[in-house]
Amino acid sequence: MRIDAVDFFYLAMPEIRDVGDGSQDMLLVRVLAGDEVGWGECEASPLTSIASLVTPMSHSACKPVLASVQGETLNDAKDIARISQRVRENSLDLLQAPHTYSGIEIALWDLLGKHLDAPVYALLGQSKAHRKVAYASVLFGDTPQQTYERAKEIADRGFRAAKFGWGPYGHGTVAVDAELVEAARAGLGDEPRLFVDAGTVWGEDVEAAAARLPALEAHRVGWLEEPFGTAAFGAYSRLAADGRVAIAAGEGAHDPRGAMNLIDYAGIAYVQVETGRIGGIGPSARVAEYAAERGIGYINHTFTSQLALAASLHAFAGLADSTLAEYPAEPSPLAAALTTDRIEPDADGTIGLPDAPGLGLTPTPANVRGYLMDVEIRVGDTVLYATPPLEEGAPP
């Protein structure tokens, strides 16, 4: 196959709220090779990433991402690795490139899997796709009562685990944060597992994070996620040494080495990787294997669409000991509409990949065409990008 086109689609809700919900807009990726199509999604600022796809070359290590992809051959997994290396070399100084390329890389795997009639996890060398316990991933409510009601709804939906994050948590007093965690536990009940995501709110302030540990321990919180920034290895290791609550991190890593450094130097018990940010499925799978070798739990980070969820699951489907998966339980109408087929938890609270080639899920363009943003990027008299028609295959 020859990669004929890489198309980006900026989709957005009519109103973007100032909350930690990344499903409010989306950068959907379509890769075309003849009459074959692959789809992906970037976890990134759509307009910024479109610019990095087509930006004029600044120098030999700052080229547009498109220049390393379009026209390349794609016949096996080695070709994806080769293209990924070209992007790294040619866009080394284009700092948005990993985010931009992640969605393309996902689409390349989807395209290759469909071409070879094989699921992506099999192309990665994994013999079986193990089911995972889905934990409902939601934001804290603005109040303990809202948090309780949200947790109660999650429990009523049959989830065996849930994660609450962002919102007011960490921005107020220790007592207020304790009330939020208590409300989440009360709404879930005794059995479901509970996790908390602080959204890097404390920077590198270990004392502020440690002050929250008693409440987390009292309400049996399984991990405290991202108390600090991704590169704050010293702060992470000092907090992890406390031992009362396990620490998780990794979604901010935009390359495999960043996630591996967290494993090696931060004392984390769980590494969480965003496939749409770290460079795609291949790098995610590398981190998953690295974590397994070192006895660290690997978990996907997914808070957007079902397409992104499928991509993230392929990266660690073959790891039987990695049993948890983040599940976007309250996606925006945009994210919910992207695919007609869905990965839904079974009665036992587990999810699994569809028995289909590629990612196993395919976007339904007609469902989201109303969210499409009309964008044009022009330099002088040259149009570098104009929103393409959002169709299932190549534009007519």
End-to-end Cα separation, the chain, in angstroms: 20
In this structure, the dihedral spanned by the alpha carbons of residues 337, 351, 221 and 182, taken in order and rounded to 10 degrees, is: 50
Q: Which residue segment(s) compose the domain that 278 sits in?
A: 123-351
pLDDT at residue number 394: 66
Neighbours of 33 (CB within 10 A): 22
**What tokens does 105 get?**
């890389």
Does one domain contain both 290 and 161?
yes
Does one domain contain both 134 and 278?
yes
SS3 118: coil
CA angle 326, 165, 244 (to 5 degrees): 90
Q: Is the dihedral of CA 390, 393, 395, 396 positive or negative?
A: negative
Does one domain contain both 315 and 295?
yes
pLDDT at residue number 391: 87
Does one domain contain both 379 and 337?
no
Does one domain contain both 376 and 249?
no
Does one domain contain both 202 and 318?
yes
Does one domain contain both 317 and 371?
no
Contact between residue 326 and residue 300 where contact means Cβ atoms under 8 Å apart: yes
Q: Which residues pair with 236 in a beta bridge?
A: none
Does one domain contain both 259 and 148?
yes
pLDDT at residue number 392: 80
pLDDT at residue number 274: 97
Does one domain contain both 315 and 378?
no
**What tokens does 282 get?**
């291949």
Q: What is the CATH number of the domain that holds 35?
A: 3.30.390.10
Distance, CA of 361 to CA of 309 (rounded, Å): 10
Does one domain contain both 152 and 36?
no
Number of domains in the chain: 2
Contact between residue 34 and residue 6 where contact means Cβ atoms under 8 Å apart: no
List the chain residues with pLDDT less than 70. Answer: 394-396
Alpha helices in 140-267 (DSSP H): 144-156, 174-188, 206-210, 213-218, 233-240, 256-265
Q: What is the pTM of this model?
A: 0.97
Instruction: Assess if residue 141 is contained within a domain.
Output: yes
Q: What is the CATH number of the domain that holds 233?
A: 3.20.20.120
